[in-house]
Amino acid sequence: MNDLNIKSLLLTKQLKKNRLYDFDYDNQIIAHNKYDAKHTYKKTTGYFPGIATIADKIVYIENRDGNTNVKTGQAETLERAYQLLGNNGIKVNRSRMDAGSYSKEIIDTVAKNSKLFYIRANRCTAMTNQISEITNWKSIEINHQSYEVESIFFLQFFQDRKYRLAVMREKNKDGQTNIFTGDNFIYRSILTNDWNSSEEDIIKYYNMRGASEKIFDVQNNDFGWSRLPSSDMNCNTVFLILTAMMKNFYNYLIDKVSEVFEDIPPTSRIKRFIFSFISVAGKWIRQARQWKLKLYTDRPYEKLKFR
């Protein structure tokens, strides 16, 4: 079904073969009380599927029990996702993931299948000591907030590879001194193999992954992920992939509609689309021995063309 989903994206030309795309991966808790629900780290019960996206399109889903550790089996899941995309002629330029993908095995898989990658790094003692030796911090401003940034060589897993750790720090709000760092800064780090971009560009690009996370809100509220129909994981997994395909087809439809209807932007949610496009008075009439749909509106439905 994941393969069918990718083929449908190619058929509708939302993806094109031999093009380079940016790949995002995340795990999303889907809370429910079915009989096979397991306790999640958010103190709910449900599933914890891994979901890969390209822009606003879901390209791969693997379902998992809610009590599964985020890193368990993730390298294998990513390998299958990359392999399926590659088999369909889809090439990955950049991969972007949160700290749930920060492990040697996962980083190996991502680096092998991407030209560039950006993964949020977890702090450890060795990394903290390395960061504490930085003296030449550079000041930048992102979204009207001041930060200090610098890059260092990443030495935790791969001493033989020239991976980069883009480090960002900002003063905490309460001004208290951190017992481990000895200062009053909050530190965040992004692991990457991109040495050409500035720290500011890397941080801004990583922060844009928040747009891909909005897909989960759309799936939960517009396509039924918050109300799974079955009490069986396999059946619910089929439902997740089918509704992901529906979302992808909806993207295709709304793009076409927005070209003709100026009041319906391509970012419109389902509810707005229904009230603005579908809810229109009409009547089937018999004319020239044929049934024709007469719409009582002056909106330009006749201009819509799908190829």
Given a cut of 80, is residue 228 above it in pLDDT? yes
Rounded distance between C-alpha atoms, residue 54 and residue 58, angstroms: 6
Q: Which of 79-83, 115-119, 286-290 has the lowest mean pLDDT?
A: 286-290
Q: Which residues pair with 139 in a beta bridge?
A: 148
For residue 243, give both structure tokens: 């509704």
- Average per-residue pLDDT for the chain: 90
Q: Is the CA virtual torsion 139, 140, 146, 148 positive or negative?
A: negative
pLDDT of 280 reads 86
Burial class (CB in 10 A: 0-12, 13-18, 19+), 114: buried
pLDDT band per the 50, 70, 90 thresholds, residue 306: low
Q: Which of 14-23, 27-36, 108-117, 152-161 has the lowest mean pLDDT?
A: 152-161
Rounded distance between C-alpha atoms, residue 207 and residue 118, angstroms: 10
H helices of 61-172, where? 74-87, 104-113, 125-132
CB within 8 Å of 201: residues ≥ 6 apart: none
Average of pLDDT values for 234-252?
Answer: 95
pLDDT of 143 reads 85
Cβ atoms of residues 98 and 209 within 8 Å: yes
Report the Cα–Cα distance between both ends of the chain, in Å, rounded: 24
Cβ atoms of residues 282 and 296 within 8 Å: yes
Q: Count CA within 13 A, CB hemisphere, residue 265.
A: 3
pLDDT of 135 reads 85
In order of their start, the domains of the chain are 1-117+197-279 (3.30.420), 121-196 (no CATH)
Q: To which residue do tokens 């939960």 refer?
A: 220
**What pTM did the predictor assign?**
0.87
Given a cut of 90, is residue 132 above it in pLDDT? no
Rounded distance between C-alpha atoms, residue 99 and residue 113, angstroms: 18
For 215: left if phi > 0, alpha if psi spans -120 to 50, otherwise beta; the answer is alpha
pLDDT of 154 reads 86
